[in-house]
Amino acid sequence: MNRFKQILDNHQEYAREWKKRVGGRILGYFDTYLPEELAYAAGMLPVRMMAEREPDMISAKWIYSSCYPVKSLTNQLLLGRYDYLDALVITEGCQWMYNAFEVAMNNKPDLLTHYLFFPDHTDAPTSKDLLVSELKVFRAKLEEWSGRAIADDALDNAIDVYNTNRRLLRKMYELRRMYRSVILGSEAMTVMLASQLMDKAEMNVWLEEYLRELEEREPYDDRIRLMLLGSETWSVDLEELVESLGANIVVDDLDNGASYCWNETVALKDKDMALALRYLGRPHSALKDNNWRRRPQRIFELAEDFAVDGALIAKQIYCHPHGLDNYAIWKLLRERGIPFHYFERDLTLPREETRLRLNSFFSMIRPGLTRLAGWHTPMTI
């Protein structure tokens, strides 16, 4: 676990070190709709851009009133923290991220950039063909950047490496699903976020070792089982706070959580179509779910399958996509009798305030299992 934690804590370091070690190019991406396999097959390392808690010196000049993760990404890009990036790609998971991408384009002229149009109407009859044509444009751009064609066997290998990674991450979710889990939510999310920063081939070796360790581990005590919903996460401080109070997040429906690894690419002769189907068929982010509203159903099924006692909905302040689908999700949870607690946060987590609200929520749903912080023994007077 420690090595995954190190990757997450020093999220810039792995890519820098990889570049030095392998000599390849690094492609930064904003949202999880990027078909990473194509970049990987072109010899590039796709790296997820990670928001960070730090004083924001610059972004306000360029972006007003966006969510804090986007401000942080803009700030880091303009401060040169991502100076090791060779390319930057956006698939427009949300419009704020697109703004950050535009700021980077305007200010970093040497950076190779590409806007990959990903249809919002993921289930529309023409979406597959549209995405395939977009992937062909992206593939041509990658070939131009790398100066070589993407060979079929390289793409097959990339698809295989990524599918293996997804299978291993899904196995980790299976261990979370157990009645008495052997893995905590903070550990699982650390692994999940680290996987978006690492070379997947190396990650798979680490992950296999880690899963073997987990299978040997004694399960944790009975804890309140929770589901985490809402905006993407960038750290595990919420998970750790939940655990300190005697609960455990056993499943999530975050864009960079379970949704990132849930489905595999099914082999087809037409590899672009195979990738298009994989990314169009993945569990969708709030922005891509506006037309069909499939997320509530999926959330209910996850809640049922993972036998959760309740759900936490943590939305980033000014996260519009997740603000817009609150209504449908609240309605579903209420109709199905799944207790939930909703709150807004930014890159910081106000510890005391959150502790108080979580304490109250936990004692509401399963009184007696809550470990209230500060359970003192009486002082002798």
Give how many residues touch other proteins by CB under 8 A. Answer: 29
Beta strand 247-252 with 310-316 is unpaired
Cα–Cα dist 283/259, whole Å: 5
- In the shown chain, the binding pattern of residues 303 to 332 toward other proteins, with x for contact by CB under 8 A and - for none, equals --------------x---------------
Residue appearing with tokens 């804890």: 223
Part of the chain binding other proteins (CB under 8 A), chosen from 75-83, 157-165, 221-229, 333-341 = 333-341
Q: Is 343 in the site for other proteins (CB under 8 A)?
A: yes
Q: Is 121 in the site for other proteins (CB under 8 A)?
A: no
Looking at 153, 216, 218, 352, which residue binds other proteins (CB under 8 A)?
352
Cα–Cα dist 285/103, whole Å: 23
Part of the chain binding other proteins (CB under 8 A), chosen from 188-196, 235-243, 280-288, 373-381 = 373-381
Which residue lies nearer to other proteins by CB, 192 or 358? 358
Residues 6+ apart with CB under 8 A from 17: none
Part of the chain binding other proteins (CB under 8 A), chosen from 217-225, 246-254, 297-305, 339-347 = 339-347
Residue appearing with tokens 């999310």: 189
Cα–Cα dist 39/210, whole Å: 27
Query: Which pair of structure tokens corresponds to residue 368?
Result: 């007696």
On the 0-12 / 13-18 / 19+ scale of CB atoms within 10 A, 212 is exposed
Cα–Cα dist 288/52, whole Å: 25
Q: Is 342 in the site for other proteins (CB under 8 A)?
A: yes
Residue 26 CB, shortest distance to other proteins, in Å, is 34
Looking at 13, 83, 270, 353, which residue binds other proteins (CB under 8 A)?
353
Q: Is 91 in the site for other proteins (CB under 8 A)?
A: no
Query: Which pair of structure tokens corresponds to residue 264?
Result: 């595999």
Cα–Cα dist 314/98, whole Å: 22
Part of the chain binding other proteins (CB under 8 A), chosen from 228-236, 267-275, 302-310, 349-357 = 349-357
Which residue lies nearer to other proteins by CB, 24 or 339? 339
Note whether 214 and 140 are within 8 A (CB): no
Part of the chain binding other proteins (CB under 8 A), chosen from 16-24, 226-234, 288-296, 371-379 = 371-379
Radius of gyration in angstroms for the set of CA atoms belonging to the chain, rounded to a whole number: 21
Residue 315 CB, shortest distance to other proteins, in Å, is 9
Q: Is 21 in the site for other proteins (CB under 8 A)?
A: no
Which residue lies nearer to other proteins by CB, 149 or 356? 356
Residue 353 CB, shortest distance to other proteins, in Å, is 7
Q: Is 300 in the site for other proteins (CB under 8 A)?
A: no
Looking at 6, 244, 263, 363, which residue binds other proteins (CB under 8 A)?
363
Residues 6+ apart with CB under 8 A from 174: none
Cα–Cα dist 218/181, whole Å: 9
Residues 6+ apart with CB under 8 A from 267: 159, 274
Q: Which residues bind other proteins (CB under 8 A)?
A: 317, 334, 339, 341-346, 350, 352-353, 356-357, 359-361, 363-364, 370, 372-379, 381
